[in-house]
Structure formats: structure tokens, C-alpha cells
Amino acid sequence: MNKISQDEIQQWVEKLPLAPGIEPGTENEADVKNYRLLFDLLDEGPKAELSYSFTANLHRRIQAITNRRIGLKWYGIAACLSILGFGFAYCLLFFYSANAAAGFAGVINKYKWMLLFIGACFLIVQFLEGYLNNRQKQMQ
Amino acid sequence: MKHLNPNRRLLSMFNENQVIAKVLQGDMRAFDLLVKQYEKLVCYVIYRMIKNKEDMEDVCQDVFIKVYCNLSQFDHRAKLSTWIAKIAYLTAVSHLKKNKQNAATNYPDNLDDLHFTNEHPEQLLTRKDTAEYLEHMIAQLPEKYRVVITLYHLKEFSYTEIGEITGLPEGTVKTHLFRARQLLKDALTAN
């Protein structure tokens, strides 16, 4: 009989195909027994447990993410509508009077940094909200 | 606390494509079914990877949130279980990196005394102790060994799929599996 390795004993215990003539002998009896026990225990898996509130907590977190996404979507739509509104107002004014349109554009140009600052503040608040929520979750 | 015994009825009713389609339409009951179907898989992988058991549930939730948010990107090229197991593995690795728990551990020299007995009335108690001891030993194996042995003994994945999940070549998966089991067998034998 060929000498049998630990890998081959494992394969034999698992009933996986082996080369002809490869079979554990009496000298491997203890190994076979221990591998059988080990495989039984490994197949049972760990006694991993989740709390009963797992699904409820998962739903709550998914709902929070969904709400946040919906909120961001609406903020985006609102931002786009505002830009379109300004454009539309400019076109209307231009159609009515080129001078009025130029005045409107001048006002927008005058306050452009303030408008950009408000937009940036809004984005920073959104980012910090997400960041702090994650931190809070990690701290818990 | 609930034990993760798979509900056979739910398993037999589980239609992967139908459930995915419903989840993508926002059906939370379908998502619950998906969670029920794969919680054992995710929980086992996370349990074996993360030493701090207090973090386990949070990481399991992170995994299912990623599944929910990215389900539209699942391309059906692999099994859903393989895709979810990969997310679980990568989430656990990311958690370990963040928490610096990934330090390599050596196999311990001093082992607790355990006596393996044949079938007799004390078997159940002995078996429970052995199972706990085995978990203790598995926790000290290198991360790759732990994940390979866990995924293989779920009887869900082939060597190729385990390689796909862990990013290891198939040969390395086999080597890790056989080596890990030999280490564990030696530990059991020593007792």
C-alpha cells in the first residue's frame, strides 16, 4: 500500500476521489477518527446568533438611507429648478427688455459668491450629517 | 437571541430571480426573505472573521445594506450566494483594517485539556465543549484560513467560487483548506 498523506486522508474521509490503491491503513486510524469528528463539527458551523431586533434595526437603517437618498434627490431637483427658473426669468426679461435682462444678470453676478457659498454650506452640512451618523453608529 | 436554523419551507419557496426583481421594486418583504435566506451565510462568515463579537451584528447589517443598495448591479454571472459572500468577506476585511484587528496570530502551544470519547451518554456535553474549543482554535487561524474553511464547510461553494469570493487562486484555496484542517485536527488530537 502506498504511503498516505494528511491531504489524502482528508480526501478519503470526505469521500473525494483518490488515486487507485490509496487508502488509509491501521496506522492512520486515529487521524481518520479525528478528521471525521473535525468535519462533523465544521459542518455544524459556529453557534452564531443574531438578535431578534436584527431585521427591525436593518429596516430602520435602510429606511434612513432611503429617506436620505430621496431628500438628496429632491434637493438636486430643487437646485436644477432654481437654475432653470433663473434662466427662464432672464429669457422672459430679455424678451421684454434687454436692459432689464442685463440688470437681472448683473444682480445675479453681484451675488454669485453668496449663492455659491450657500450651495457649498448646504453640501458640507449634508456631508457632515452622513459622517456624524456613521461615527455615532461606530461609537455605539 | 435566535439560532440560525434555516427555515426549510422558506428555502424551498425561495426563487432568486423573483425575489431580486421584487426587492428592486422596493418590496421589503421580499428583502426580508432574502435576508432570511442568506443570514446564516453572512453570519457565519462575519462570525469567523471578526474577533470582536459585539461588532458582528453591525457588520452583518452593513453587509445586507450593501446588498440592498447594490442589488441592481448584480449581473447574475455568479450565484447570488457567491455575490453576497464576497460582499460579506470584503466588508469583514474592511472592518478588520479599520479596527486593526488583522494582526497575524500564531497557533498556540498550550491547549486546554479535552477528552474525545466514543458514542456514550456524555457525548453531547463533550461534543459541545469540543465545538467551543474548535471555535477558539479557528479564531486563532490566519484570516484566509478562517474564511476558506468557513465557506467550504457551508457546503454551498466550490473551490472556484471560494476563490472568486476571496480573490485567491483555486490551488491556494485548496492548500489553505487542507492546511487549516490539519492544524485543527492536530489541535484536537493534542487533547
- Rounded mean pLDDT for each run of 10 residues along chain A, 140 residues in total: 74 76 75 87 82 89 87 89 91 88 89 90 86 69
Structural domains in chain B plus CATH codes: 1-103 (1.10.1740.10), 105-191 (1.10.10.10)
Over residues B159-180, the pLDDT tens digits come to: 999 999 999 999 999 999 999 9
Q: Indicate if A93 and A25 belong to the same structural domain.
A: no
pLDDT higher than threshold 70 for residue B110: no
Q: Indicate if A63 and A110 belong to the same structural domain.
A: yes
Using a CB-CB cut-off of 8 Å, the residues of chain A touching B68 are 62
Say whether residue B99 is in contact with chain A using an 8 A CB cutoff: no
Nearest to A62 among B68, B135, B178 (CB): B68
**pLDDT of the residue at A139:** 62
Gap from A1 CA to chain B (nearest CA, Å): 22
A99: containing domain: 54-139
Domain presence at residue A1: no
Range B55-60 contact pairs with CB under 8 angstroms and sequence separation of 24 or more: B55/B95, B55/B99, B56/A48, B57/A50, B57/A51, B57/A54, B57/A57, B58/A137, B59/B91, B59/B92, B59/B95, B60/A50, B60/A54
d(CA B127, CA A129) in angstroms, rounded, equals 49
pLDDT higher than threshold 70 for residue B117: no
Gap from B82 CA to chain A (nearest CA, Å): 18
Domain presence at residue A49: no
Task: Return the number of CB contacts < 8 Å for A and B.
Answer: 98
Of the residues B1, B61, B91, B152, the best mutation for testing chain A's interface (the one with the most A CB atoms within 10 Å of its CB) is B61
**pLDDT of the residue at B109:** 42
Gap from B31 CA to chain A (nearest CA, Å): 10
Say whether residue B111 is in contact with chain A using an 8 A CB cutoff: no
pLDDT band at B83, cuts 50/70/90? very high
